[in-house]
Amino acid sequence: MSNDDASYPPVEPIRAGILGRCPRCGQGKLFDGYLAMARSCSKCGLDYSFSDSGDGPAAFVILIVGFLVVGLALWMEVTINPPLWLHFVLWVPLTIGLSLVLLRWIKGILITLQYRNKAAQGRLDDRK
């Protein structure tokens, strides 16, 4: 029986993605560095060559962080009307911090969902 045919308990993709774990066994590391993918799972041997999150994580991070930071900055400006330097002190570090944290989480989530749903490149049907 090959590793692909082996029986593994179901892995919750959101949890595995946030923790940076293998989408098949939920134990091995998904990342080799901060955002660099490992070649394969150290526990079950799953080859991660299928994974291609593309620009998806960055797009989601831009939308989520932009919505939060701009919304909070506008709310603060309307209700408190602080000086401009306070906006910079609050929102620039918050934007950078949220972006760094969310980028890894969302990349992991998209890759684990890609594995769970067996997502692949689209192909045109050549038959006529």
The answer to whether residue 18 sits within a structural domain is yes
Q: Look up residue 69 and give its two tokens.
A: 């930071």
The answer to whether residue 28 sits within a structural domain is yes
Contact by Cβ (8 Å): 76, 91: no
**Based on the structure, what is the number of domains in the chain?**
1
Residue 24's domain spans which residues? 13-116
The answer to whether residue 3 sits within a structural domain is no
Query: Which of 8-12, 21-25, 89-93 is predicted least confidently?
Result: 8-12
The answer to whether residue 8 sits within a structural domain is no
Q: Is 31 helix (H, G, I), strand (E, B) or coil?
A: strand
pTM of the model: 0.86
Give tens-digit pLDDT for 44-85: 999 999 888 899 999 999 999 999 999 999 999 999 999 999
The answer to whether residue 94 sits within a structural domain is yes
Q: Is 26 left (phi over 0), alpha (psi -120 to 50) or beta?
A: left
Average pLDDT over residues 23-40: 95
| pLDDT of 2 higher than 60 | no
Q: Is 47 helix (H, G, I), strand (E, B) or coil?
A: strand
The answer to whether residue 72 sits within a structural domain is yes
Sign, CA dihedral 70-71-72-77, equals positive
The answer to whether residue 121 sits within a structural domain is no
